[in-house]
Amino acid sequence: MDDRLFRTAMGKFATGVTVITTEFEGRPYGMTANAFVSVSLNPKLVLVSVGLHAHMHNRLQHTKRYAVNILAENQQALSALFAGQKKEETEVKFDTLDSLPVLQGTIATITCNVVAEHLAGDHTLFIGEVTEIRLNEGEPLLFSQGKYRELTALQENPTH
């Protein structure tokens, strides 16, 4: 099968949108990622998949720490910025959580220490043990079939 067919099939799976952040050489860096998953409750582990050629790859291998910023529905511009889709210079204000740079206004932020790295094809799976969590109200930014989507509330149907 060709790469396009595979990408199209994977795009059928709706995901949330995250920005992975870390601090490297005294500067904050981020990368949009939807390849994020909870792995274990005890210990609390999460996983992000990062391409071998992504700038973030070497930074995570060096720092061994990252934050997962789960974006709110109104943060599509941040997703595009950290995906390299916006070319104009944009200043991002970072907060700090557990000594890591994190984005403001996210619905959840999770900081992690890398406890394992697994090479998987053209990506590395960075498994992180959760060290801190910050939660905020709001709806998630979703992505499916190459487009951003909105979560709409399910209507209660009193007849069923």
The dihedral built from the CA positions of residue 94, 97, 101 and 104, taken in this order, carries a sign that is: negative
Q: Report the Cα 145 to chain-centroid distance in Å.
A: 17
Rounded distance between C-alpha atoms, residue 2 and residue 38, angstroms: 29
What pLDDT is stored for residue 7 in this prediction?
A: 82
Q: What is the pLDDT of residue 23?
A: 97
DSSP state string for 11-63: HTS-EE-EEEEEEETTEEEEEEE--EEEEETTTTEEEEEEETTSHHHHHHHHH
Give the integer Cα–Cα distance in Å for 142 and 131: 25
Whole-angstrom distance, CA of residue 125 vs CA of residue 121: 10
pLDDT for 9: 87
Which residues of the chain fall below pLDDT 50?
A: none
Nearest partner of 61 among 48, 72, 42, judged by Cα: 48
Tens of pLDDT, residues 82-124: 998 876 667 898 999 999 999 999 999 999 999 999 999 999 9
Residue pair 127/46 in contact by the 8 Å Cβ criterion = yes
